[in-house]
Amino acid sequence: MNGRHYTALKVFKYAQQDGICALPGCNQTMDPSNTHLHHINGRGMGGGKRDDRPETTELMHPICHMEGKHG
């Protein structure tokens, strides 16, 4: 993977709160019909077993997800 994607994963490493977009600085309530599930491997970048740590699932607006990944 490239360095930009690694940065994006670091940006998204925030705990999901009830119905709030996971992108730092957004903090807007999520509309269930306009959400993006973002799955993060518990180990992050690099090898190792997937089940070493629980995988986290975050919700964020599609536009926020794209901005975070490509911004």
pLDDT in tens, the chain (71 residues): 444 444 444 444 444 445 667 677 776 766 554 444 544 444 444 444 444 444 555 666 666 666 655 43
Give residue 63's pLDDT: 67
Burial of residue 49 (CB within 10 Å: 0-12, 13-18, 19+) is exposed
**Which residues, other chains included, contact 16 with Cβ-Cβ below 8 Å and sequence gap of 6+?**
22, 56, 57, 58, 59
Please list the alpha-helical segments (H only) found in the chain.
3-11, 62-70
Q: Indicate whether this model's pTM tops 0.75.
A: no
pLDDT at 43: 43
